[in-house]
Amino acid sequence: MGIEGYKGVFVFVEQRDCHIQNVSLELIGKGKELANKRNTDVTAVIIGKGVNSLTDTLSHYGADNILVIDNDKLDKYMTEPYTKALFEVVEAKKPEIMLFGATSIGRDLAPRVSARVHTGLTADCTGLEIDEETGNLLMTRPAFGGNIMATIICKEFRPQMATVRPGVMQKLEEDKNKKANIEKFDVNFNDADFNVEILEEVVETKKKIKIEDAKILVSAGRGFGSKENISIADDLAKALGIAEVSGSRAAVDSGWLEKDRQVGQTGKTVRPNLYFALGISGAIQHLAGMEESDLIIAVNKNPDAPMFETADLGIVGDLNKVVPELTKLIEAEKS
Ligand code: FAD
């Protein structure tokens, strides 16, 4: 069969302990847009144990079809059986496009599937469009350390596969009336597919919300001056209750914050309801990761800091004074 026989946009839905990861819903939203342009539909592929219960959510967020691979042995993610399952899906359904979240699971799984079905994979995309002339998928990602954006196409093989960074695409509004076609998909597993056994799972005890999922981010930049001073941002986040602390690359490179807290071109893309940019100058690489936030409040002692051009609300002042004052006001409001 030639590549013209391949149809439909497929999204691998990542779930952990039956919680669908946000990025998968974002990809269903983007997948729907791509599918419309190709006059086709979007299919969510969900793999795991007890995942039948998740089909309503996938329908409500825009999946037209859902392929369910529900198997007791697939309780936890394992590379080999998941690869085999998706390989068989590709063989049977011949999707034109297949999308994965650029998460640790997506980054493990997608390359193996692409190698097994003999097609290309563009990793870590930040943009996906359809080329109106050729119908090919245009997959855009930062290259050379983020200095240029490269747009990659996969002309000769199908499916066109991409992993996409969490937080970049937007999920659709939930529509509880939507119903997808649900199909149970059987995979020909044998014992050799389960040659790895999970003996123990050690869950990180620090309960941190991923910055991509936070509704409010208190983001710290070089203006904090020291690791100890980050406590000012921690206190504001605590007062706000549902906020997480993130930061610029300067703050991460200085060792004040963990790498997974970095916002920007080489960090995470975030889109919270509220983003505090504290002591962050507003370099283009930082803006690339947060400018889509709903409301941006900047505190900077330099009135000419570029961040003020992007911010909705700007406070010119020393963050050491402004931020604790703000924290106090919020605490007072609560009591
Ligand atoms: P600075 O630019 O040093 O700004 C500090 C700010 O704090 C200044 O505006 C200053 O006026 C203010 N300030 C100082 N003291 C105070 C005070 N007491 N009160 C209030 N304000 C104060 N950066 C990212 O953030 N994320 C990325 O993913 C990223 N990727 C990159 C990729 C590439 C290829 C390159 C070349 C760069 C990348 N950078 C990234 C780096 C980026 O260019 C900037 O260097 C970085 O964002 C600067 O961080 P900053 O704003 O915290 O520090």
The pLDDT assigned to 333 comes to 86
Instruction: Answer yes or no: is 47 a known binding residue.
Output: no
For 136, list phi and psi in degrees, rounded to 5.
-70, 155
Residue nearest to atom 14 of ligand 1 (CA): 223
Torsion of CA 102, 108, 114, 120, to 10 degrees: 50
Taking alpha carbons only, the member of 229, 241, 12 closest to residue 114 is 12
Answer whether 266 contacts ligand 1 (Cβ < 6 A).
yes
Answer whether 222 contacts ligand 1 (Cβ < 6 A).
yes
CA count, 13 A, side-chain hemisphere, 156? 1
Using DSSP's 3-state secondary structure scheme, residue 30 falls into helix
Answer whether 250 contacts ligand 1 (Cβ < 6 A).
yes
Instruction: Answer yes or no: is 114 a known binding residue.
Output: no
Answer whether 167 contacts ligand 1 (Cβ < 6 A).
no
Minimum-distance ligand 1 atom for the alpha carbon of 318: 19
Q: Tell me how far CA of residue 109 lies from CA of 52, 112, 166, 226, 324, in angstroms.
A: 21, 5, 16, 39, 45
What's the gap in Å between 221 CA and the centre of ligand 1? 6
In the numeric block, which tokens belong to residue 7? 């149809």
Answer whether 305 contacts ligand 1 (Cβ < 6 A).
yes
A 10 A CB-CB count for 134 gives 10
How many H helices and E strands in the chain?
9, 17
What's the gap in Å between 64 CA and the centre of ligand 1? 43
Taking alpha carbons only, the member of 221, 224, 227, 274 closest to residue 250 is 221
Residue with tokens 């563009």: 122
301: exposed, middle or buried (Cβ count in 10 Å: 0-12, 13-18, 19+): middle
Taking alpha carbons only, the member of 198, 195, 204, 194 closest to residue 76 is 198
Instruction: Answer yes or no: is 285 a known binding residue.
Output: yes
What's the gap in Å between 106 CA and the centre of ligand 1? 30
The pLDDT assigned to 197 comes to 87
Instruction: Answer yes or no: is 281 a known binding residue.
Output: yes
The pLDDT assigned to 206 comes to 62
What's the gap in Å between 251 CA and the centre of ligand 1? 8
In the numeric block, which tokens belong to residue 242? 């549902």
Instruction: Answer yes or no: is 282 a known binding residue.
Output: yes
Answer whether 232 contacts ligand 1 (Cβ < 6 A).
no
In the numeric block, which tokens belong to residue 56? 């309503």
Instruction: Answer yes or no: is 219 a known binding residue.
Output: no
| Count of residues making up the chain | 335
Instruction: Answer yes or no: is 170 a known binding residue.
Output: no
Residue nearest to atom 18 of ligand 1 (CA): 318
In order along its 335 residues, the chain shows pLDDT tens digits of: 788 899 999 999 999 999 999 999 999 999 999 999 999 999 999 999 999 999 999 999 999 999 999 999 898 999 999 999 999 999 999 999 999 999 999 999 999 999 999 999 999 999 999 999 999 999 999 887 667 899 999 999 999 999 998 889 999 999 999 999 999 999 999 989 998 888 888 876 666 789 999 999 999 999 999 999 999 999 999 999 999 999 999 999 999 999 999 999 889 999 999 999 999 999 999 999 999 999 999 999 999 999 999 999 999 999 999 999 999 999 998 77
Answer whether 314 contacts ligand 1 (Cβ < 6 A).
no
Amino acid letter at 208? Answer: K
Taking CA 307 as the corner, what is the angle to CA 305 and CA 311, rounded to the nearest 5 degrees? Answer: 135
What's the gap in Å between 328 CA and the centre of ligand 1? 26
Torsion of CA 51, 52, 57, 62, to 10 degrees: 110
